[in-house]
C-alpha cells in the first residue's frame, strides 16, 4: 500500500491500528521482561534457600575427632526434601576429594573456587536436572589424612519445585499483563472514538445544511487541531459566497442595463414600421443601427467581464513588453482616425510576468478603448512598460478630461460612469480591468495625469527579475 492509499484509510481505523500495534508490541515486551525478571527472582529466592541448606549442613560439620563428621538432624533433612519437592543430594568433602560424605559424584564448578563464596549452577545429575550450590571454606587443620585444608559443602535439589513455582508465578504475571493490555486496548479504542466524535458532529452539521446556507461553520466545539481545516473551509465558503453574490449582482445589473436598450430597439423598430416616407424610415433605421451597435458592445463587455471572473486561468510566462506593443499597434489605425498621438515606450529590460495572455490583452484593450473614447482630437495617449524594484508595470496615460477625484475610488465598479463622462459608454471597461487584475494578483491603480488633467491607469505585476531570452526589437527608454 502506497502512502496516498494509506492516507485514504479511515482516520479512526488507522489511529486504532497504530495505537493497538504499539500496545501489542509493548505487551509482548512486558511479557518478555516479566518472564525474564520472574525467572531471575525465582532463581534468586530458591538459591538463597539452597544456600541456607548449605549453611545449615556446614554448621553441623565436625572435625574434632580428626576426621570429618556431619551431625545432620533427620527432621531438617526431611524438611529440605519437602521444600524441594523431591530427593535432595548433598556432599561434604575436602577439596581434593580424599575425605567425603554424601553423594561423591556431585560435580564441582569448572571455575576456580573462592573461599566463603557460594556458587550455583544447573547440571544433569541422576537422570534429571538439578540446581547445585557449592560452598568452600578453610579448615583449621587437615582431616582424615588429607593434606587439603579446604572444605567443600554441596547441596543439589531437583528443578521440579522451582519449575512449578516459576510457571505459576510467570503465568500469573502474563495473565495480568494480558488483561492490562486488553484494558489499555479498550481504553484506546474508546478514547479514539470519543476524540473523533466532534468530527462526526461536524460532518453531520455540514450534511444537514440547506443548499443555500453559506454561513461560516462554528468553530467553538471543534478540536484545536481541526480548527485550521475548518478555517480553510470557511474561507472557501466565503469565496464561494462572494462568487455567487458577484454572479447574482452581474445578472441583476445585466438585466437592468439591457432592459432599456432592448426597449429602445423595440420602440425604434415600431417607429420604422409606422414611417410613411423613405426619409423617416431611413432615420429610424439609422437610430436603430446605432442603438444596436451600443447594445452589442455592452453585451460583449458583459460577456468579457463574466469571462474575466470565471475563466480557468492557466498562468504562463508572458513577455509584458511584447504583449503591450502588439495591443497598442492594433489600436493605431483608430488613433490616427481620431487624430490622437498614440505612443509606446518600454524599459531597457522587458519583463516576464506570470499571467493569462488573452485576459491581459483584454485588460489593456479596455484601457486603450477608454482612453481613445474620452480623449479629444489632437490629444495624446502613451502606453509604457517599466520595471521598478519587484514590480513590472504597464501604464496607459491620456490627456482626456479625467474624472473627479472623489469618484476615483469607485472606478472599477460595474456600470459606474463618471459624472463628467460624455458619450454612450457602458461603465464596464474599468470593471473588466479590475477583475482581470484581481485574477492575476496584480494591482490596478487609477490616478490623475500630472499637469495634463487626464488619467493614468496602471497595472502592476509582481516580478522576479526574469527577462525574455530574445530581444523584443523595440528601442528602450531611460
* 412-463 pLDDT tens trace: 566 555 555 655 555 667 777 888 888 888 888 888 777 666 888 889 988 7
**Which of these, 413, 378, 398, lies nearest to 455 by C-alpha position?**
398
User: What pLDDT is attached to residue 308?
Assistant: 62
* pLDDT grade for 472, boundaries at 50, 70 and 90: very low
- Given a cut of 60, whether residue 211 has pLDDT beyond it is yes
Pairing status of strand 352-355 against strand 380-388: unpaired
Output the pLDDT for position 136. 92
**Per-residue pLDDT at 31 exceeds 90:** no
For residues 144-160, give the mean pLDDT: 83
The whole-number average pLDDT for the span 25-35 is 80
Q: Is the pLDDT of residue 276 over 60?
A: yes
**Is the separation of the CB atoms in 235 and 243 below 8 Å?**
no
Work out the pLDDT band at 135, boundaries 50, 70, 90: very high
CB 375 within 8 A of CB 381: yes
- Give the pLDDT confidence of 335-361 residue by residue, as tens digits: 888 888 899 988 766 788 888 887 888
Flag whether pLDDT at 297 surpasses 60: yes
Q: Which three cell numbers stand for residue 311?
A: 475563466
Cα angle for residues 362, 368, 372 (degrees, 5° grid): 145
Task: Give yes or no for residue 236 having a pLDDT over 50.
Answer: yes
Residue 362 is predicted with a pLDDT of 81
Geometric angle at alpha carbon 303, from 297 and 305, rounded to 5° = 105
Query: Any idea of the CA torsion for 322, 327, 328, 329, to the nearest 10 degrees?
Result: 90
Q: What pLDDT digit, counting tens, does each position of 65-107 carry?
A: 777 887 765 656 666 665 656 678 888 888 888 888 888 888 8
Spatial separation of the C-alpha atoms in residues 187 and 478, rounded to whole Å: 75
More confident residue, 274 or 328: 328
pLDDT of 9 > 70? The answer is no
The span from the CA of 43 to the CA of 72, in Å, is 25
Note whether 452 and 387 are within 8 A (CB): no
H/E element, 314: none
**What pLDDT is attached to residue 478?**
34
- Residue pair 318/352 in contact (Cβ under 8 Å)? The answer is yes
Q: Half-sphere exposure of residue 181, counting CA atoms within 13 Å on the CB side?
A: 19
- Judge whether residue 399 has pLDDT over 80: yes
Answer whether residue 243 shows pLDDT above 50: yes
Is residue 471 helix, strand or coil?
A: coil
Residues 136/150, Cβ–Cβ less than 8 Å: yes
Once rounded to an integer, what is the mean pLDDT over residues 130-137?
Answer: 91
What is the overall mean pLDDT for the chain?
77
CA distance 440 to 314: 10
For 57, 108, 122, 135, the CA distances from 101, given in Å and listed in that order, are 11, 15, 21, 15
Contact 158, 85 (CB under 8 A): yes
pLDDT of 118 reads 92
Q: How far apart are CA 466 and CA 469, in angstroms?
A: 9
Over residues 402-418, the mean pLDDT reads 64
Q: Please tell me the total number of residues recorded for the chain in this structure.
A: 478
What is the reported pLDDT for 352?
85
Instruction: Give the pLDDT mean for 383-404.
Output: 84
Indicate the pLDDT class of residue 195, thresholds 50, 70 and 90. confident
pLDDT for the residue 366 = 83
The number of beta carbons lying within 10 Å of the beta carbon of residue 213 is 9
Selected residue with higher pLDDT from 173 and 61 = 61
Q: What angle do CA 331, 337, 338 make, to 5 degrees?
A: 90
- pTM for the model: 0.46
Integer-rounded Cα radius of gyration of the chain? 51
* Burial of 79 from C-beta contacts in 10 A (0-12 / 13-18 / 19+): middle
pLDDT of residue 133: 92
Amino acid at each position: 500500500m502506497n502512502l496516498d492509499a494509506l492516507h485514504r484509510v479511515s482516520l479512526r481505523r488507522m489511529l486504532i491500528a497504530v495505537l493497538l500495534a504499539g500496545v501489542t508490541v509493548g505487551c509482548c515486551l512486558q511479557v518478555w521482561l516479566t518472564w525474564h525478571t520472574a525467572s531471575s527472582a525465582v532463581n534468586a529466592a530458591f538459591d538463597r534457600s539452597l544456600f541456607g541448606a548449605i549453611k545449615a549442613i556446614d554448621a553441623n560439620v565436625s572435625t574434632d575427632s580428626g576426621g570429618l563428621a556431619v551431625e545432620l538432624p533427620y527432621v531438617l533433612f526431611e524438611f529440605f526434601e519437602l521444600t524441594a519437592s523431591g530427593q535432595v543430594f548433598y556432599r561434604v568433602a575436602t577439596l581434593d576429594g580424599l575425605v567425603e560424605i554424601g553423594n561423591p559424584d556431585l560435580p564441582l564448578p569448572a571455575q576456580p573456587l573462592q573461599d566463603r563464596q557460594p556458587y550455583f549452577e544447573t547440571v544433569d545429575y541422576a537422570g534429571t536436572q538439578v540446581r547445585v550450590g557449592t560452598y568452600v571454606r578453610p579448615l583449621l587443620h587437615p582431616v582424615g589424612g588429607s593434606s587439603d585444608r579446604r572444605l567443600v559443602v554441596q547441596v543439589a535439589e531437583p528443578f521440579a519445585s522451582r519449575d512449578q513455582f516459576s510457571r505459576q508465578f510467570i503465568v500469573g504475571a502474563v495473565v495480568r499483563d494480558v488483561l492490562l493490555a486488553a484494558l489499555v486496548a479498550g481504553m484506546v479504542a474508546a478514547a479514539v472514538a470519543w476524540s473523533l466524535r466532534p468530527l462526526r458532529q461536524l460532518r453531520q452539521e455540514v450534511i444537514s445544511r440547506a443548499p443555500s446556507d453559506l454561513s461560516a461553520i462554528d468553530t467553538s466545539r471543534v478540536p484545536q487541531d481541526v480548527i485550521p481545516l475548518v478555517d480553510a473551509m470557511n474561507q472557501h465558503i466565503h469565496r464561494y459566497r462572494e462568487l455567487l453574490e458577484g454572479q447574482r449582482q452581474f445578472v441583476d445589473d445585466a438585466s437592468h442595463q439591457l432592459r432599456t436598450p432592448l426597449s429602445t430597439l423595440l420602440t425604434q423598430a415600431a417607429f420604422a414600421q409606422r414611417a410613411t416616407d423613405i426619409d423617416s424610415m431611413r432615420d429610424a433605421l439609422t437610430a436603430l443601427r446605432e442603438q444596436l451597435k451600443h447594445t452589442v458592445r455592452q453585451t460583449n463587455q458583459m460577456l468579457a467581464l463574466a469571462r474575466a471572473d470565471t475563466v480557468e486561468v492557466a498562468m504562463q510566462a508572458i513577455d509584458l513588453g511584447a504583449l503591450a506593443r502588439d495591443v497598442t499597434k492594433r489600436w493605431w489605425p483608430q488613433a490616427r482616425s481620431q487624430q490622437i498621438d498614440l505612443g509606446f515606450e518600454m524599459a531597457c529590460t522587458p519583463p516576464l510576468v506570470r499571467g493569462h495572455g488573452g485576459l491581459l490583452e483584454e485588460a489593456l484593450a479596455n484601457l486603450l478603448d477608454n482612453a481613445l473614447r474620452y480623449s479629444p482630437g489632437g490629444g495624446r495617449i502613451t502606453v509604457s512598460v517599466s520595471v521598478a524594484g519587484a514590480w513590472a508595470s504597464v501604464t496607459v496615460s491620456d490627456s482626456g478630461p479625467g474624472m473627479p477625484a472623489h469618484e476615483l475610488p469607485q472606478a472599477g465598479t460595474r456600470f459606474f460612469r463618471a459624472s463628467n463622462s460624455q458619450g454612450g459608454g457602458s461603465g464596464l471597461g474599468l470593471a473588466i480591468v479590475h477583475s482581470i487584475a484581481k485574477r492575476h494578483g496584480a494591482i490596478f491603480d487609477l490616478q490623475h495625469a500630472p499637469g495634463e488633467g487626464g488619467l493614468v491607469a496602471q497595472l502592476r505585476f509582481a516580478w522576479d527579475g526574469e527577462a525574455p531570452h530574445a530581444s523584443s526589437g523595440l528601442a528602450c527608454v531611460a
